[in-house]
Amino acid sequence: MRSITSIKDYHIALQNGHTTCVAAVSHFIAAIQEKAHLNAFIEVFEHDALAQAATLDAHIADGKPLLPLHGVVVGIKDVICYKGHRVTAASKMLAGFESVYSATAVERLIAAGAIIIGRQNCDEFAMGSSSEHSAYGKVLNAADEARVPGGSSGGSAVAVQANLCMVSLGSDTGGSVRQPADFCGIVGVKPSYGRVSRYGLIAYASSFDQIGVFAHYINDAALVLATIAGPDGKDSTALQTHLPQGIHHTTPHRPMRLAYLKEALEHEGLDRNIKAAFEQLFQQLKAAGHTVTAVDFPLLTQMVPTYYVLTTAEASSNLSRYDGVKFGFAANEVTQLNDLYIQSRTAGFGKEVKRRIMLGNFVLSSGYYDAYFSKAQQVRRLLQQQTRNILASYDAIISPTVPGPAWRFGEKSTNPTAMFLADIFTVHANLVGAPAMSIPAFQHDFGMPFGIQVLSSEGAEATMFEVAHELARLVKPGLSIN
Ligand code: GLN
């Protein structure tokens, strides 16, 4: 089978008898083995995936109609639970832990005919921007193996980039789907907060976390999102509204009202190549009949500090459950309960996770709570109000997804603040609950891909996809399927 196939083309091939689900799964298992050095997958569910494929082929042989995601081969980030399969958040802390239930997103995928091929490598507990902080070792970017794939969902991005599966599910708390999608030259979507149930997603920062989708095509990402989205009694923060029908179809051209944040384009950390590409893009958009307006957003520089205060606070609380008693790793030869906690957490968590837990405890401690945590909550509220005000007049805010292209391994590992600052454009959507996606659009002078981020109003995924298709029409028509 051809390595890059849209779901639509794959389904045509299945119906014509040109391929089978078993052939597709076998193809991807071989590809994963061949590219094992990329370290994208932690585990391949070979036996179960082939069995599922055989059942789906029998369904076709019986002459039954195809299911919406019939035979679609999906990889899942190692923070998403799949009943009877291991899940570890790429941490020693959860070594050997097996899910006792499936995430709602996984259940919906399987009900729609998808095949889960394996679990994918990532930064430990989804904390990081480079996929260097994993108990299973780093993930390589297939476009340049000396460079990071981005993070934290690096394995899920590389798996799609290198054609090791058709689509992946990742999680996005501050950019972990969009940023690796940008670094790997693929499509990455983070839906509105609550669009996809968080049931069965290992928590990092619960008021930010969302499951997102990686794909080669905008339409495929939309179709997978439409499958996993929707109200869920198991997550009280899940939105009660449904996505509109047919969200995966390419919409006809219409003039768009687009905004960009002046401070983003003028940011001193923005790579020159990226800035030049965006200036040209704005001209192209205007020439195509769209309005492109600069808006003031002085709070831009407050976004990264606000994000890191709030997410570390939530993480320190969420990760308190890993104490050597309830889950996974427990230190040996300890006689005192307190020592068990200390030694299990000391040995079970990696450096970055410990840094976040300590930061979180600090901003929540009685002497600093008002100065950091309460203040950050107030700034979050302001960001929400100001973003809503802008999006009341525009279809989307467009920006680079990341201020620079994929960096070399080790380049930012000794400077956590430099790594945090790379999240400047992505954390916005999570702070305000808005949907945002990255589409691959450009190539940097030294060969790496970079993309465009489209951020729309909460609940307005349909508009976000419309804008994405329109951008693709101008810069990369191959991303849309008609
Ligand atoms: N890089 C960000 C962080 O480290 C985002 C991570 C994510 O979205 N999971 O928190």
**What is the pLDDT at residue 3?**
59
Sign of the torsion formed by the C-alpha atoms of 453, 225, 153 and 345: positive
Rounded CA gap, 370 and 380, in Å?
14
**What is the pLDDT at residue 103?**
98
Ligand 1 atom nearest to CA at 171: 9
Q: In what order do the strands lie in the sheet with 167-172?
A: 41-44, 115-120, 73-77, 167-172, 210-215, 187-190, 436-443, 449-455, 396-400, 257-261, 291-295
φ, ψ for residue 58 (rounded to 5)?
Answer: -65, -35
144, 179, 421, 440 from 405: Cα distances, Å: 12, 10, 13, 12
Ligand 1 atom nearest to CA at 420: 1
Spatial neighbors of 147 by CB under 8 A, at least 6 apart, are 141, 183, 406, 407, 408, 409, 448
Compute the distance from residue 170 Cα to the ligand 1 centre, in Å. 11
What average pLDDT does range 406-410 have in this prediction?
Answer: 95
Bridge partners of 428?
none
- Which of 124, 153, 311, 413 is the best mutation target for the ligand 1 pocket, counting ligand atoms within 8 Å of the beta carbon and taking the most? 311
* pLDDT digit string, tens, across residues 11-68: 999 999 999 999 999 999 999 999 999 999 999 999 999 999 999 999 999 999 999 9
20, 29, 32, 54, 380 from 50: Cα distances, Å: 11, 10, 14, 6, 46
Q: From the CB of 458, is ligand 1 less than 6 Å away?
A: no
Burial of 283 (0-12, 13-18, 19+ CB in 10 A): exposed
Q: Which helix (H) or strand (E) holds 115?
A: strand 115-120
320 preceded by cis ω (within 30°)? no
* pLDDT digit string, tens, across residues 153-194: 999 999 999 999 999 999 999 999 999 999 999 999 999 999
| Residue listed under structure tokens 């200036």 | 279
Compute the distance from residue 175 Cα to the ligand 1 centre, in Å. 6
Question: 419: pLDDT confidence band, cut at 50, 70 and 90?
Answer: confident
Bridge partners of 442?
450
* pLDDT digit string, tens, across residues 285-309: 999 999 999 999 999 999 999 999 9
φ, ψ for residue 54 (rounded to 5)?
Answer: -65, -40
Question: 328: pLDDT confidence band, cut at 50, 70 and 90?
Answer: confident
Q: From the CB of 127, is ligand 1 less than 6 Å away?
A: yes
* pLDDT digit string, tens, across residues 205-238: 999 999 999 999 999 999 999 999 999 999 999 9
Compute the distance from residue 129 Cα to the ligand 1 centre, in Å. 6
253, 410, 455 from 377: Cα distances, Å: 39, 33, 21
